Amino acid sequence: MVEIAERLTTRTFGRRIFSFDSIDSTNSFAKNIAHEVEEGTLVIAEEQTAGRGRLGRSWQSERENNLTFSIIIKPDILAEHLGVLSLYAGLAVTEALQAQTQLVPHCKWPNDVLIGGKKCCGILSESTLAREKATSVVIGIGINVNQSSFPDDILATSLSLEAGRVFDRVNVLAAVLAKLEEWYRCIRMQEYTRIIDAWKSHAPMLGRHMRIKHNDDVLEGIARRIETDGSLILQSNGRELKLTAGDVSILNK
Ligand code: BT5
């Protein structure tokens, strides 16, 4: 993907690029260089040998068919608002994929983008904190673009499986970076409600019954709303519970 730089429409996002044929994890590399590079730096790889999800889970992605990359931002955001960053990234990816494919992707709390109920993008945002604020944040994004099959044990899909055609990965990347840069203004201005409102417009899960697994707990209830810190309010057994992380399954009730 050598021609990335020429195809970008952004001012800062992706203007410095570290591109690898193979690397352990773009997030790990980005975390190591975050303190010494400018905001918007892109780390991208054709293949990750140890691509990571949350809680030590792995991200599996066929080389040369997909996008696996990380963006470094320095948002000067209070630690208590960090949860908004996964929603911000999910919103940007959703809008970019919709424009590129004419499909209708959905945001799933806290960090996925789904098409037809299957995961086509995962987001891993990792922060370095100092004095209650994030000094740098690495937003790792994996998008299944042209992969044509997935292991049976994961409910995954790709843009090409859903649309029935192959996509130019650099076009998809450029569209995602443009949306990340566009919505980043709201992060900078601390307009978190604007991000959450836009995110909600792509998230049919609100109002639905769901099961949420977090550590060893399993909770069931109705997803009521998203708070300005990005947490999910679940109504369960007459109580409102505030959740900052977890794995959601929608129940057909
Ligand atoms: C995520 O974690 O979804 C975050 C994935 C972030 C990946 C990017 S790639 C670039 C950057 N560098 C990294 O090392 N990571 C980031 P989580 O919500 O924990 O979901 C992980 C789960 O998703 C796995 O346990 C599988 O069940 C499933 N999964 C793995 N690979 C997948 C794929 N290609 N498509 C859909 N689902 C997948």
Exposed e or buried b for every residue in 89-105, given b needs 16+ CB within 10 A?
bbbbbbbbbbebbeeeb
Q: What is the mean pLDDT of residues 70-89?
A: 96
Beta-bridge partners for 128: 136
7 backbone dihedrals φ, ψ, rounded to 5°: -100, 0
154 lines ligand 1 (CB under 6 A): yes
Q: Among the atoms of ligand 1, which is closest to the Cα of residue 55?
A: 19
pLDDT higher than threshold 60 for residue 102? yes
125 lines ligand 1 (CB under 6 A): no
Confidence of residue 107 (pLDDT cuts 50, 70, 90): very high
Residue partners of 217: CB distance under 8 A and separation at least 6: none
Residue 231 and residue 242 in contact, taking contact as beta carbons nearer than 8 Å: yes
Dist. CA 25–CA 27, nearest whole Å: 5
Q: What is the mean pLDDT of residues 157-169?
A: 98
Q: What is the mean pLDDT of residues 103-131?
A: 96
Residue 26 and residue 143 in contact, taking contact as beta carbons nearer than 8 Å: no
pLDDT higher than threshold 80 for residue 1? no
Tens-digit pLDDT profile for residues 49-76: 999 999 999 999 999 999 999 999 999 8
Residue 189, token pair as written in the block? 């201005």
pLDDT higher than threshold 90 for residue 199? yes
pTM score > 0.85 for this model? Answer: yes
pLDDT higher than threshold 80 for residue 12? yes
Q: Among the atoms of ligand 1, which is closest to the Cα of residue 142?
A: 9
pLDDT of residue 141: 98
122 CA to centre of ligand 1 in angstroms: 5
Atom 16 (ligand 1) nearest CA = 140
Mutation to probe ligand 1, out of 59, 66, 138, 139 (largest number of atoms < 8 A from CB): 59
Q: Where are the alpha helices (DSSP H) in 23-145?
A: 26-33, 83-101
